[in-house]
Structure 1
């Protein structure tokens, strides 16, 4: 627990909430003058034993339940980044899931210009794997530029994907299915993900892969065979990242190299050059 950071975050956000907005009256005599809700009022609103919130804000509540943190985050109106900070300060771990069901469904509009400026294949999906934005290089992957509306559904369920994603059952599906499972676990109320799961379970070809499960391996850094609609068969190297304001969304950059074999050696991992930093 990072007590100092946790206390600062909670105090700052608590001070922004007017007690009157929750039916409390502010004392007019010699009573409390500090802005915002009192610690006891927080306990009352959350239906917790008096003193519970004080323990948390003062840093004397080791390993508080995530349900308590979620209730506080919702009461204080935290955004997703603040929710992540709360969990990291209190538990030294990322949140168990998004704070709001709508999170991860949109990104700042400037991402369109950023994606358009990338030379390689680039696209961004939301938390449900619906396509948010892409560049012209991504559209060229598909015959007639007909891009899928949901990349997860396309990869696992659309027949034409199996001609684009070469070695579909061995080089793609074992890595894609665990990502879908993880997304559904984090967002059990997501209607789009639930519908994809139902379609998969009804598909005799893909359902065995889904039932088998598998460990989640993030695609960042992977190389996989792919048939480009214009350039033919080749390999893509996958770079994956997440927009900070939209947990669950994903940005992918695919570096395509035509040819039947992997023609480029795997570059070494990038690390900061501390020697140069000190010499500067």
Structure 2
């Protein structure tokens, strides 16, 4: 538990909540004048034993239940990044899932300009794999530039995907299905993901692969065979990231290289050059 950081986060957010907004009144005579809810009032609103919140904010509550942390996050109107910080400060781990079911469904509009400015194939999906934005290079990947509305559904259930995603059953499906399984675990109430899972069960070939499970392998850095609608067969190198304010969303950049031959050796991992940093410090 990071007591100092946890205390600072909770105190700051608690001070922003007017007691009057929850039916409490401020003392008019001598008494507490600090802004925001009192610790006692937090316990009352959360229906917890008196002193529960004080233990957490003071750093004397080891391994608090995530149900308590979630209730506090909702009461304090934390955003997803603050929710992540709350879990890390108190439990030294990321949250078990998003704070709100609506999280991961939208991204700031500036992402459209950012994606349009990328030369390579680029697109962003939300936490349900619904397409949020893409550039023209992504549209050119598909016949008649007809982009899928949900990339997960397209990859697994649209027959046309088997032509675009070359070696579909061996080069793509084993890495796609674990991602879907992990997303459903994190978002059990997501109806879009649930519908995809139900539809998969009706396709024996995919249902069998889905039941087998498999490790969750992030696509970042993968090379896979791909047939481009305009450029023909080739290889796709996948770069993946996540917009910070939308947990579960994904931003992809795909470097496509036409030709039957697989690209050369995978570039080495990028690491900071510590010696260069030290040299700059000596000469700075």
**Secondary structure of the equivalent of 1:206?**
helix
1:227-265 deviation line (CA, Å, top 9, x unaligned):
111111111111000000100000001111111121222
Aligned counterpart, 1:217: 217
Cα distance in 2 for partners of 1:49, 1:263 equals 62
1:41 aligns with 2:41: yes
Cα distance in 2 for partners of 1:89, 1:225 equals 42
**Secondary structure of the equivalent of 2:11?**
helix
Aligned counterpart, 1:66: 66
Aligned counterpart, 1:105: 105
Structure 1 moving runs of 4+ over 6 Å: none
Alignment of 1:168-187 (within 5 A): 168-187=168-187
**Secondary structure of the equivalent of 2:124?**
strand
**Structure 1 gap ranges (5+):** none
Aligned counterpart, 1:262: 262
Alignment of 1:139-178 (within 5 A): 139-178=139-178
- How far did residue 181 of structure 1 move? 0.6
Q: How many residues align?
A: 280
- How far did residue 73 of structure 1 move? 0.1
Cα distance in 2 for partners of 1:165, 1:115 equals 22
Cα distance in 1 for partners of 2:23, 2:110 equals 41
Cα distance in 2 for partners of 1:213, 1:274 equals 40
Cα distance in 2 for partners of 1:214, 1:276 equals 41
Cα distance in 2 for partners of 1:277, 1:117 equals 31
**Secondary structure of the equivalent of 1:30?**
coil
Aligned counterpart, 1:89: 89
**Secondary structure of the equivalent of 1:265?**
coil
**Secondary structure of the equivalent of 2:159?**
coil
Cα distance in 2 for partners of 1:163, 1:195 equals 24
More displaced 10-residue stretch of structure 1: 151-160 or 28-37:
28-37
Cα distance in 2 for partners of 1:101, 1:230 equals 38
Aligned counterpart, 2:194: 194
**Secondary structure of the equivalent of 1:205?**
helix
Give me the TM-score of the superposition, normalised by structure 2: 0.97
Aligned counterpart, 1:32: 32
Cα distance in 2 for partners of 1:267, 1:89 equals 36
**Secondary structure of the equivalent of 2:252?**
strand
Cα distance in 2 for partners of 1:264, 1:8 equals 50
1:46-88 deviation line (CA, Å, top 9, x unaligned):
1111111000000011111111000000000001111111111
**Structure 2 gap ranges (5+):** none
Aligned counterpart, 2:275: 275
Give me the TM-score of the superposition, normalised by structure 1: 0.99
Cα distance in 2 for partners of 1:237, 1:206 equals 24
Cα distance in 2 for partners of 1:94, 1:261 equals 41
More displaced 10-residue stretch of structure 1: 254-263 or 129-138:
254-263
Aligned counterpart, 1:18: 18
1:121 aligns with 2:121: yes
Cα distance in 2 for partners of 1:215, 1:278 equals 40
